[in-house]
Amino acid sequence: MCNQRTNGHTVSNLAVHLVWSTKYRYKVLLGDVQRLCRKLLIQICDSEDIIILKGVVCKDHIHMHIEYRPSLDVSSIVKKLRL
């Protein structure tokens, strides 16, 4: 894992594993769509100071293991990452 984040008086190491699935597990994340999803997720994570520890865009689902700062919560992260 990455190093712990320090901020003023706190030390944190918050990580979560997110999985998205397409409706009915349709295989639609192929080719250009797969590359675009990957690129957009990386851009959003960079702008929100979220570290991607591991991530895979498969043909019918997306896995992301991320580390985030304490000022964010998981529900707001998912809202920002939803495409």
CATH of the domain at 74: 3.30.70.1290
Rounded Cα distance between 18 and 4, Å, is 20
Backbone conformation region of residue 8, classed left if phi is above 0, alpha if psi is from -120 to 50, else beta:
left
CA distances from 21 to 29, 35, 48, 61, 83 (A): 10, 16, 23, 4, 12
At 5 the pLDDT is: 78
Q: Which domain holds residue 61?
A: 10-81
Count of domains for the chain? 1
Q: What pLDDT sits at residue 83?
A: 65
pLDDT of res. 75 = 95
In a domain, 67, yes or no: yes
Q: pTM for this one?
A: 0.86
Task: Fill in the DSSP letter of residue 60.
Answer: S
Question: What pLDDT sits at residue 8?
Answer: 80
pLDDT in tens, the chain (83 residues): 457 878 788 888 999 999 999 999 999 999 999 999 999 999 999 999 999 999 999 999 999 999 999 889 999 999 999 86
